[in-house]
Amino acid sequence: AQSVTQPDIHITVSEGASLELRCNYSYGATPYLFWYVQSPGQGLQLLLKYFSGDTLVQGIKGFEAEFKRSQSSFNLRKPSVHWSDAAEYFCAVVIKAAGNKLTFGGGTRVLVKP
Amino acid sequence: GAGVSQSPSNKVTEKGKDVELRCDPISGHTALYWYRQSLGQGLEFLIYFQGNSAPDKSGLPSDRFSAERTGGSVSTLTIQRTQQEDSAVYLCASSLRLALEDTQYFGPGTRLTVL
């Protein structure tokens, strides 16, 4: 079955430290890949997306993600975390053959220590 | 500009009652989606609409769930005979077209609690 896995349910990071959130997918073909962020009481906001081309994608708020086909991964990174980055992060995929439906991973909640 | 809006923001109902959740997409967006976010199931797709085409209902969990989109704009998600397992946050999203490249913009959600 198609799936998106975010292995880390919670991550705690100190402000100013780097952050990496993992995402793995299992599909036969390369899916369209997304990272969304959900702040408390807010809707989902798109951080970045990957369709094709350069495997390193830049997004908003200083985030970037790297697509690695060999590892079926699309990990999200930020070099220096700010307190406002505390939120829940969701990796998602769209499979062209399945229609334009986002399939989400379970999410990773990020806590930022001062 | 205005984003996706949803109403009500919170809804508490008794088991067995029917509820209606409303979504106003971004003006000019032709595609509209409903998702559900619950503790047990995470974020899951329910249904999407694109223009006048038949909706994709493949994610609706049971026949108690239905949705319509009137005039190609506002959408209503209806849950009949609510059950406690229907308690969740219902999220609506819209995109310019039903194209994989088009970003889905999400509303703040409606938190449904079934007592």
The pLDDT tens digits for A58-80 are: 999 999 999 999 999 999 999 99
State how far the alpha carbon of B70 is from the alpha carbons of A3, B2, B49, B67, in Å: 33, 19, 11, 10
| Cross-chain residue pair A100–B99, CB shorter than 8 Å | yes
SS3 A97: helix
In percent, the amount of chain B with pLDDT more than 90 equals 80
Instruction: Assign B51 a pLDDT band (cuts: 50, 70, 90).
Output: confident
Question: What distance in Å separates the CA atoms of residue B6 and residue A11, rounded to the nearest whole number?
Answer: 31
**Residue B1 banded pLDDT, cuts 50, 70, 90:** low
pLDDT of residue A1: 62
Neighbours of A106 (CB within 10 A): 17
Rounded Cα–Cα distance for residues B90 and B33 (Å): 11
pLDDT per residue over A76-112, tens digit each?
999 999 999 999 999 999 887 777 889 999 999 999 9
Contact, A11 vs A108, CB < 8 A? yes
Contact B100 A100 (CB under 8 A): yes
pLDDT of residue B52: 81
Residue of B78, B92, B85, B72 lying closest to B114 (CA atoms): B85
Q: pLDDT digit string (tens) for A32-58?
A: 999 999 998 788 999 999 988 889 999
Q: For residues B105 and B88, what is the distance between their CA atoms, to the nearest angstrom?
A: 19
Average pLDDT over residues B19-37: 95
Say yes or no for a CB contact (<8 Å) between B91 and A43.
yes
- CB-nearest partner of A43 from B59, B99, B108: B108
Confidence of residue B64 (pLDDT cuts 50, 70, 90): very high
How far does Cα B95 stand from its chain's mean position?
Answer: 14
Residue written as token pair 């108690």: B64
Q: Do residues B34 and B57 lie in contact, with contact meaning Cβ atoms separated by under 8 Å? A: no
Nearest beta carbon to residue B100 from set A36, A96, A105 = A96
Q: What is the pLDDT of residue B37?
A: 95
Nearest residue to A36 via CA among B8, B76, B35, B23 = B35
